[in-house]
């Protein structure tokens, strides 16, 4: 099971209430945080993994199908990064069951602000850039919250069973 932690702005789009008590994710990568992002005419959902800061971007529509769309985006990004295929399959299997939870990690929220800024700049400079290309660029940016490592290396390391020090706690 995976816990998705939307910001208040994103929670309104889910049209759901948060449960009184959120469980813990059973996935290797852990929780995902979601926020709405408005860039030019595009309405996006920026979804960031808590442990690795790996990011995916989804069009902000069809919130009823958010989880299947998130799983597809995570699969696409992890495959592009060369994550072990069997580990990706296991991660996606665990992500089939999901629940919403409150945001609790300020370091992730701060990193999301930085990621949102980078997405805005990239789309303002080159509006024709694909979301896939931006996701891969973001996966290579070092972050202080993960000891100046890159989200791609942390995510692939976690899925490969490599010890990952410096996660976002």
Cα Dmax for the chain: 43
Under 8 Å between Cβ of 59 and 44: yes
Amino acid 39: pLDDT: 87
Show me where the domains of the chain are located: 2-158
pLDDT in tens, 45-99: 999 999 999 999 999 988 889 999 999 999 999 999 999 999 999 999 999 999 9
CATH of domain 2-158: 3.30.420
């Amino acid at each position: 099971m995976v816990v998705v932690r939307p910001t208040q702005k994103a929670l309104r789009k889910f049209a759901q209430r948060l449960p009184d008590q959120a469980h813990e994710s059973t996935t290797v990568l852990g929780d995902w945080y979601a926020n709405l992002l408005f860039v030019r005419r595009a309405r996006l959902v920026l979804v960031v993994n808590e442990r690795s800061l790996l990011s995916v971007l989804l069009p902000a529509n069809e919130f009823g199908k958010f989880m299947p769309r998130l799983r597809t985006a995570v699969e696409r990004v992890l495959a592009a990064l060369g994550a072990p295929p069997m580990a990706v399959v296991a991660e996606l299997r665990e992500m089939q069951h999901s629940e919403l939870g409150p945001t609790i990690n300020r370091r992730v929220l701060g990193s999301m602000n930085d990621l949102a800024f980078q997405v805005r700049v990239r789309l303002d400079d080159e509006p024709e850039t694909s979301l896939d290309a931006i996701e891969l660029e973001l996966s290579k940016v070092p972050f202080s919250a993960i000891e100046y490592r890159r989200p791609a290396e942390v995510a692939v390391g976690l899925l490969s069973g490599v010890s990952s020090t410096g996660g976002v706690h």
